[in-house]
Structure 1
């Protein structure tokens, strides 16, 4: 049993307003041509991503704060026979296509407003109160709101970096990266398969100079701890210069694997790395 502190609730609500402010500053500096730049999201321009983030804000405010019918349920009723991924992609694409007529200035103003509303809502709601399931953390039933807001932060952080890369702008910086890494580590612990590891085996994750986490195999799952004992069964360390690119899905799975150095039990390290790279890697170009 690890003597490290167990990684528990991660409160990212204090970063929501500053992340949104940084996103607005990026969008305000873009000219009309830059809004039409292609991004790593298939078929979406910079404007498409901005509209998607706005749609997410409106959706979560409606279904979570106001307890309205989830728009995905309505979309599913109108499109029987589709799988979840097809439904989600179709629902998102429908909104982006319908909202394309909005002016860039109005999109920025609406994102400012919905950013304020969502930050206030997530700050006010009880972080342990139960809401919708968050599959990102392996949940099949109602999830605590700290996980719901953490998932939202991660998605916003990823999309903002997709826009930044399209426009040739620098990354957000370490405080935002550290929070995203903490969210990602919790998701990995919830979704990583057994990998043939026996109870007590441990897997270290680190961004040198920024943070480290340890996954320890229990009977039925991986438990996550903050920090490193220095005696893990295997260790994965990502190049700090590539950490944002890895976690914000800028790299393919094979590129993401090459961003890590491994040590310790090679079989465990390589198996874990291959599985993690599939989670964070973007599809390779056709």
Structure 2
């Protein structure tokens, strides 16, 4: 019997890529220098980072992996290492014109997608999804993680140039937020509660959904057979706040102000400190 991929995303990469090229082609020279929710990065910097993601995975088609130039003994070591890699690339790309950057994105996008299609979804991934607390991940989750990278960085550009709506659809947003929510058990690992306690999390709107976390003898687990009414706490977050919260584009306090919490407030803290990117 064929296994079902929990969060299918592979078919959406070309859709995202086409939207990205269309977006970048429409930008004015001033648009490329606008600040984004990615803190210190401009639109051009974020586009350069997306190119880096393409190039790294295309290299895997040649069975090439860059040497690791740092001792990585903890999660924070890994974050620091990746931040340095990203910064070096983005700084080097400042020498490149937006026109050349756009051309390279056009050329590498299809090759990146080709590589994603070579991965067996149920075999071990080369890199685990560390923000979900996994030491070993399956390829379907790695692919979904890559989808969230493509989605949220393009959305950062759209925020900067006031062209936001295109990605906030059920087709494109829901797989991204569903992947982000896989981090919930890890985010709640140190939050105490009695066995059987349930918490519901709703990302509002047609593109969102509801997830329920329940405490059992082995910790917190995502469940799909528990009703929201059974939850000790119910948290509702608007979609535009949710993706920014989980990518550290806004502070937890800002997200709390724009969200609704019912029931036990103490059980709500985990999601507002959850990060679904390596940061």
TM-score (norm 1): 0.83
- Provide, for residues 74-97 of structure 1, a one-character-per-residue CA deviation record: whole Å limited to 9, x for no partner: x438xxxx9333322221111112
Q: What SS does structure 1 have at the residue aligned with 2:103?
A: helix
Deviation at 1:247, TM superposition (A): 4.4
Are 2:148 and 1:150 aligned?
A: no
Deviation at 1:167, TM superposition (A): 1.1
Q: Which of 9, 12, 16 in structure 2 is aligned with 1:15? A: 12
Q: Distance in 1 between matches of 2:5 and 2:192?
A: 25
1:173 aligns with 2:173: no
2:198 is matched with which residue: 199, 202, 223? Answer: 202
- 2:50 aligned with 1:40, yes or no? no
- Report the secondary structure of 2:253's partner residue: helix
Which has the higher mean CA deviation after the structures are superposed, 178-187 or 105-114?
105-114
| 2:184 and 2:213 in contact (8 A); partners too | no
Q: Is the 8 A contact 1:253 1:280 kept in 2?
A: no
Residue 130 of structure 1 and its aligned partner are, at CA, apart by 0.9
Residue 23 (structure 2) aligns with: 26
Which digits, 9 at most, give the CA deviation of each residue in 1:216-270, with x for residues without a partner?
A: 112223221347613212111113454444445442221112222111223323x
Structure 1 pair 130/91, CA: closer, same or farther in 2 (3 Å)?
same
CA–CA distance in structure 1, aligned partners of residues 112 and 223 of structure 2: 29
Aligned residue for 1:106?
100
Output the aligned Cα RMSD: 2.6
TM-fit CA distance, 1:152: 1.0
Secondary structure of 1:115's aligned partner: helix
Provide the C-alpha distance between the structure 2 equivalents of 1:49 and 1:257, rounded to a whole number of angstroms: 27
Q: Deviations over 1:161-185 (max 9, x none)?
A: 1111111222312222211110111
* 1:232 equivalenced with 2:231 (yes/no): yes
- Quickly say closer, same or farther: Cα 1:33–1:53, change in 2 above 3 A: same
- The residue aligned with 2:49 is 52
Q: Indicate the SS of the match to 1:163.
A: helix
- Size of the aligned set, in residue pairs, is 265
> Is the 1:157–1:248 contact (alpha carbons within 8 Å) kept by the matching residues of 2?
no
Question: Hey, what's the Cα distance between the residues in 2 that align with 1:94 and 1:208?
Answer: 38
Alignment partners' CA distance in 1, 2:46 and 2:240: 25
Q: 1:201 to 1:148 in 2, by over 3 A?
A: same
Aligned to 2:83, the other structure's residue is in SS state helix
- SS of alignment partner, residue 213 of structure 1: strand
Q: Deviations over 1:32-59 (max 9, x none)?
A: 1211112232332111111111012111
Q: Is the 8 A contact 2:132 2:276 kept in 1?
A: no
Say if 2:78 is the partner of 1:84. Answer: yes
1: CA distance, partners of 2:146 / 2:239: 24
Cα distance in 2, alignment partners of residues 187 and 66 from structure 1? 31
Query: What SS does the aligned partner of 2:260 have?
Result: strand
- Unmatched 5+ stretches in structure 2: none
Which is worse superposed, 155-164 or 99-108? 99-108
